[in-house]
Copies of this chain bind each other. A is one copy, B any other.
Amino acid sequence: MTNLDIFNPISEELAMVEEQLFQSIDTELEILDKAATHLIKAGGKRLRPAFVLLTAKLFSDSIQHAIPLAVALELVHMASLVHDDVIDNSELRRGQPTVKSKWGNRVSLYTGNYVLAKSLCQVAGYQRSDILEVLANASMGICEGEIKQMQSCYNIHQGLKDYLRRIERKTALLIAVSCQLGAMISDSTDAEVMALKRYGYYLGMAFQVTDDILDFVASEEILGKPVGSDIRQGVITLPAIYALKYGTHREELGQMLSSPESCCNRAEEIIDLITETDGIDYAYYVSNIFAEKAIKQLEKLPDLSGKDSLLDIAGFISGREY
């Protein structure tokens, strides 16, 4: 099963989201138009829109009403990506030059702000303050996650809990909100909204743990950015935390991971020290636990048609191999 198969039930609506993403950029300022369009063109999995659409589809066959919300969720996500690239000084994302590398910091920063403000315009149409609040709160959570990530760099004393709290803000929150809002704008009960929010949360956790594994084991071609980007930036993810605690060479690894110089210059050695432990397997194990928890949340829902797609995604993410 591929990414595309999972999104089959909503392929038409995803195409509309794609079109409306481009239409949402509506400025006379050529450079802003180009930068924002580049950001959208650079693509991505459109996971957040997909979750909005799939959860809305649980409650009605027609999900036209969910499209502006799906666009809004992707715009919030894009704003965080373009801002990340400013701070991390990244040249490549998904194999494309970043907005930062093409147009510099000022354009990137304000493109992010523009796209963030645009996402809120998208939800204004729903005339629902509860939706706006959920989205704005998620944006604030993302900010907290980014700062937490910075604080944890090169910190070899962090544990599983620190890591989980960080990825919760960084990734799980926005996927949880995508599922929650998809249900909220549809004919669902409060209990269904809550179960879907939790489903999105656990799935987002599984997704980020898997993403962090890929930074060790995938190729640059698949990642669209250099392998070991996390290590090079001092971002200590689950396989590294495992290796720091249980690896044979944990002292040597600790010395290297706590120094920005060696993280940057000796990244390959560090990656070898981590991958020779059971850290990668452990991380897959943790990711699977989260995917299982996501599936459990779905069991709380009545027998809605469309539930299978959400089950498939949990299975796909937990077991995915590139």
Cα–Cα distance between A109 and B105 once the two chains are bound (Å): 11
Verify B31–A151 contact, CB threshold 8 A: yes
**Central interface residue in A105, A127, A136, by most chain B CB within 10 Å:** A136
Is A106 on the interface with B (CB-CB < 8 A)?
yes
- What's the least CB distance linking A260 to chain B, in Å? 14
Copies of this chain, whole number: 2
Cα–Cα distance between A105 and B143 once the two chains are bound (Å): 13
Cα–Cα distance between A112 and B118 once the two chains are bound (Å): 16
Given contacts A113-B116, A124-B129, A129-B124, contact A107 B29 (CB under 8 A): no
Cα–Cα distance between A116 and B143 once the two chains are bound (Å): 11
CB neighbours (8 Å) of A125 from chain B are: 129
User: Which residues of chain A (27-41) have a CB below 8 Å from chain B?
Assistant: 27-29, 31-32
CB neighbours (8 Å) of A32 from chain B are: 143-144, 147
- What's the least CB distance linking A174 to chain B, in Å? 12
Is A301 on the interface with B (CB-CB < 8 A)?
no
Is A146 on the interface with B (CB-CB < 8 A)?
yes
Is A318 on the interface with B (CB-CB < 8 A)?
no
- What's the least CB distance linking A34 to chain B, in Å? 11
Is A139 on the interface with B (CB-CB < 8 A)?
yes
Verify A118–B132 contact, CB threshold 8 A: no
Verify B133–A124 contact, CB threshold 8 A: yes
Is A150 on the interface with B (CB-CB < 8 A)?
yes
- What's the least CB distance linking A235 to chain B, in Å? 13
Is A4 on the interface with B (CB-CB < 8 A)?
no
7 A-B Cβ contacts within 8 A? A27-B144, A32-B147, A87-B106, A114-B144, A116-B139, A117-B136, A125-B129
**CB-based closest 6 A-B pairs:** A117-B139, A110-B143, A124-B129, A114-B143, A124-B132, A120-B136
